[in-house]
Amino acid sequence: MALPRSILALSAGCFGIGTTEFVVMGLLPDVARDLHVDIPQAGLLVTGYAVGVVIGAPILAILTGRLPRKGALLGLMGVFMLGNLFCALAPTYDLMLAARVFTAFAHAAFMGIGAVVAADLAPRHQRAQAMALTMAGLTVANVLGVPGGTAFGQAFGWRFTFVAVAIIGAVAALAVALMVPKMPARRSASLIGEFRVLKRPQVVIGMAMSALSAAAMFSVYTYIRPILTDVTGIAATSVTYVLVVFGLGLTFGNLVGGRLADWKLMPSLIALFLGIALLLALFTVTAANPVTAIATLIVWGIAGFAVVAPLQMHVVIEAKGAPNLVSVLNHAGFNIGCASGAFLGGLPIAHGLGYHNVPWVGAAVAFAACLVGLFSLYLARRQGKVAESYEPDAVEAAPAE
């Protein structure tokens, strides 16, 4: 059975969100020059966005918790569009930073609620695949949106890039309005009752695995350009093409992860984390040769993003009664992992160990995630239950198109 086309509308929103998060990285020199700041200060526009995601997640989870979910998604796209227009018009650096934080508020809430809506719209045996297709917008943004937005900004000015991203948000909002069916708000005893799900060990463990998966990825990916140029010997002008191929691996891996989660969720997660650890350890050797380095990157990209849908499905399963809330907070945890990974990956460089040793950090973090996954499986089996599928409450059910 085919997945409902309404999920593509959710994926379009994730594409816009993924584009606006990272596109500023390619425009930093232009932004810095126009706003009269140096490059490191302009780089805080990336950090500020991540902070906005983390701060905005619980706030937006509370504000949207009692809204019909289609209305919540449209409202979040409205925040996204306004934020990007504010970025385009910001006359000063301080206002630009504030606009970036404001835009980020919609990030975790849209992706978290969108993932749960996608699962509810999909047939029972394809719910994780539906989540993966929604998240595919994020990976496609890294392959097409970010380089395309960078090129557009360099040709017409960085402010027009944010206008273009706002237009993407408008198209996504229209798609949601036309294609996503009306879905009622969740019925729960109280908001405090929903937050009580955070006392469940498996929920916290699942969110910890999400943070560790992001840290393992970004501890290496943050420094991939100097690794490829200084260790592998690839020309700086060719690195972009290598990263596009890596991005295609991320996209494919995301879709593979959805199928694995619908098949065997926790065993797949554990095996993937172990595979990532071994791949990154191997990368310390294969990085010395362009052919083996690119081959390792492709396989790492597939495995590295194959964990996303299973992780999201796992926390939603374990947070029965508050899937929207935990799904949103899980995305915030992922962003915390992104920031932590960048810090951890920089430690070998700071201590003079060289870029070729950076993948060891990612390997260690991925192995830690594998151990956490084994502990989660042990707890579940000791309690006599291993949750492998998500069943929405009857009140949430909505017909697939």
Q: What pLDDT digit, counting tens, does each position of 43-61 carry?
A: 788 778 888 888 887 788 7
Fold classification of 189-388 is Growth Hormone; Chain: A; (1.20.1250)
pLDDT of 395 reads 35
Six token digits for residue 60: 């937006």
How many Å apart are CA 8 and CA 172, to the nearest integer?
9
Is residue 399 scored above 60 in pLDDT?
no
Is residue 171 scored above 80 in pLDDT?
yes
Is residue 389 scored above 70 in pLDDT?
no
Q: What is the mean pLDDT of residues 163-187?
A: 86
pLDDT of 48 reads 84
Residue 160's Cβ-side half-sphere holds a number of Cα atoms within 13 Å equal to 9
Q: Tokens 């932004």 identify what position?
A: 31
253-268 per-position pLDDT tens digit:
888 888 888 788 888 8
Task: Give percent above pLDDT 70 in the chain.
Answer: 91
pLDDT band for 221, please (50, 70, 90 cuts).
Answer: confident
Q: DSSP secondary structure string, 220-263?
A: HHTTHHHIIIIII---HHHHHHHHHHHHHHHHHHHHHHHHHHHH
302-342 per-position pLDDT tens digit:
998 899 888 888 887 777 766 667 777 787 788 788 778 87
Q: What is the mean pLDDT of residues 340-351?
A: 84
Question: What residues does CATH 1.20.1250.20 cover in the chain?
Answer: 1-187, 189-388
C-alpha angle with apex 308: 307 to 313, nearest 5 degrees? 100
How many Å apart are CA 213 and CA 309, to the nearest integer?
12
Question: By the 8 A CB rule, do 74 and 176 touch?
Answer: yes
Q: Tokens 């916290």 identify what position?
A: 204
pLDDT of 396 reads 40
**For helices 127-140 and 308-318, what crossing angle results, to 10°?**
130
How many Å apart are CA 40 and CA 373, to the nearest integer?
37
How many Å apart are CA 245 and CA 64, to the nearest integer?
37
- The CATH number of the structural domain formed by 1-187 is 1.20.1250.20
pTM of the entire predicted model: 0.78
Nearest to 74 by CA among 188, 146, 182, 186: 182
Average pLDDT of the chain, as a whole number: 83
265-301 per-position pLDDT tens digit:
888 899 999 999 999 999 999 999 999 999 999 999 9
230-258 per-position pLDDT tens digit:
899 988 778 778 878 888 888 888 888 88
Q: What is the mean pLDDT of residues 104-133?
A: 82
Higher pLDDT, 95 or 240: 95
Side chain identity at 346, as an amino acid letter?
Answer: G
Q: What is the mean pLDDT of residues 57-75?
A: 82
pLDDT band for 388, please (50, 70, 90 cuts).
Answer: low
CA distances from 89 to 16, 43, 137, 202, 257 (A): 18, 19, 26, 44, 39
Task: Give percent above pLDDT 90 in the chain.
Answer: 27
**For helices 146-156 and 6-22, what crossing angle results, to 10°?**
50
